[in-house]
Every structure is written in structure tokens, then in C-alpha cells.
Amino acid sequence: MKPVIFGLSGPTLTANEAALFREADPLGYILFGRNCIDREQMRALTDALRDLSGRTDLPILIDQEGGRVARMRPPEWPAFPAPAAFAALYARAPSSAIAAAKANGQAIGAMLAEVGVTVDALPLLDVAQPDMTGAIGDRSYGTDPMQVAALGRATLDGLAAAGVVGIVKHMPGHGRAQVDSHLELPRVDASDAELKIDLQPFGTLAHAPMAMTAHVVFSAWDADRPATLSPTVIQRIIRDRIGFDGLLMTDDIDMKALSGTPADKASAAIAAGCDVVLDCWARMDEMAAIADRLDSIAAGSRERLDRAMVGVGKPTDIPFADLIATRDQLLALA
């Protein structure tokens, strides 16, 4: 198994993709809107990926946050509120906001499990700052670290109750970035003391099964390399200080914040201490080059993967409509 998660080009698995994936045996896959047409098609696609890998607990990821970040969309699937909706309720009724976030997470998880998706890239634990990039914006659970952690925990618990794994992101924090890492490399010059605020939600949820890195330079820790490519940030901050021992994946290595060839970036991320590389865009030449460059997954990373996927496919049976009704009744309090 290679420590990489690949994207797919369309709603079905192509012959060329199947041949490459069979040889490379990637750790998992990630789906986007181009892969999500309807329930029957998605279930057939995810079943085909499981059959190809021979793993029933195969990580099949999606970014289904709610609000503007949603790959499964109406009219086939319902819309979900952005995370900021739960932050607004928390300001008035914290316990109600936590209950609403858990019901929402479980409803999202149930929708994903129905079509065979096993991992959701949610929740964001990025603490909002007044001048943060709009790329985060209403995706954040707020400005208070305790609030962010509480709503993030509720979302993780909701997903887990549906038999779906959550990913906390973007470790060690994207809230101070003033530019969009999809387009350029953000640099954060806050002091170590100031950055303690950003680390708090991640430390509170250090038990999370999976996490995603931030393509952000933190000059207080490593002035030359973004967190994704920094052995210092990954070991000293993420592993030691935050205490995270789950599966650590990169954000998409195709984002413009990182420079170099896809294979170079993938190799550097693994060398820095990431467990797995995320490569989203299904370009055959790039995927082949990454697979050729990477060695098989390290034993420690495989153990983290197995631990993260233990709860997959073990849902608590609560009707989807009841979860949505509970969430909406609580959100109406805001």
C-alpha cells in the first residue's frame, strides 16, 4: 500500500485508473462534485473501489462540510448549514449549539454512509481571526478556542455515530492566514505565545482519528517551510506539543502554496513526517509519478490508519429525518 490518497476523474472508474490503482494500491481515494451524480452511481463507484482494493474499510474521503463546501448537492442531496451557523447559536445557547452540531454531523454521516463514503474532511478547528482569508470564513466555528473545540467535538461524535470517520483540519491552524493557500503560500508571523490560541482546539481534540495539515509558514517555528513540509512543525508542534497521534495527511499537494513537482512535494511531505499525501485531481501522469516515488506505507502509519478506521460502518440507528428536525429546531433558537 502506498501512502497516498488519489482523486478520480469522473462518475465511474476508468480502465486506466483501475490499472494504475491496482498496481499502486493507494491508501484511499477522495471524491469531488465530478464524482457525485446520484445515489446509485456513487454507491456503484465506491463499491468498485472497495472491490479493487480488497479492503472493506477502505478510506473513501469527501469534503462535505455544509455551506459552500459540499460535493454532494441539491437536488439529489439536501443542503447543510455552514459551520458558522452553529457558532451563531453557541453565542446564545452553547448546549443547544453542541446538540445541533452533533445531530448535523450524524445526518451528514448517514448521507455519506448510504453511498459508501467512509471519511469526511470535517470539522475545521481553525480559530477565526478578524483578518483571516475568506477561504476559511464561515467554515470556522468561531473565534473562541473552547467554542471551536466543543463544536468540533460534537461534529466528530456525530459523524462517528453514523459510522463515518472525521478529519480535523487544518493543523496546526489556518485562522491567521491572510491569503488563500489554494492560490499562494500564506505566512504567519505571530509569536509562539500568540499561536497557543490556535493550538488549543487541536490539543483538546488530540484524540481525533485523522488530521489534515495546513500549507502555511509559521515563522515562530520554521521560517522556511510550510507546516506540511516541516519536520519541525510536524514533530515538535503537531506530534509533541498538540499530542496528536492519529493519521496525519497533507492538504491537497496540488495547491499553489507548495512549489515543485507533485512527486517532489509528495516525497517531501512524507519525509517531513506526514503519514499520507492527498493528491486530488486525477491526473494520470502525476499519480503515476507519485506512486513511483513513494515507498510502501510505514508500519507506524499503517497502525494509525487501522486504528482510525475501526468504527467505520457501525452506525447508531436514528432516522435521517429526525436528525435534521432536531438540528433545525435547535438552530431556530438563534
At residue 30, φ and ψ (nearest 5 deg) are -130, 140
Measured CA to CA, the distance from residue 228 to residue 214 in angstroms comes to: 6
Question: Which residues, listed in sequence order, are joined to residue 171 by a DSSP beta bridge?
Answer: 213
Residues 6+ apart with CB under 8 A from 203: 241, 242, 243
Distance CA 98, CA 83 (A): 12
Active site residue 174: no
Q: Which grid cell is 287?
A: 499519480
Spacing of C-alpha 101 from chain mean position: 17
Report strand pairing: 217-218 vs 187-188: parallel
Q: What is the C-alpha to C-alpha distance for residues 39 and 32, in angstroms, rounded to an integer?
A: 14
* CA atoms of 190 and 194, how far apart (whole Å): 6
CA distance 276 to 289: 15
Q: Which of 63, 251, 252, 279 is catalytic?
A: 251
How many CA atoms does the CB half-sphere of 305 hold within 13 Å?
A: 23
Is 67:83 a contact under the CB 8 Å cutoff?
Answer: yes
Catalytic residue among 182, 245, 254, 264: 182
Pairing of strands 69-70, 187-188: unpaired
The verdict on whether 170 is a catalytic residue reads no
- For residue 150, the Cα-to-chain-centroid distance in whole angstroms is 18
CA Rg value for the chain: 19
DSSP bridge pairs for 119 = 61, 165
Residue positions annotated with a catalytic role: 182, 251
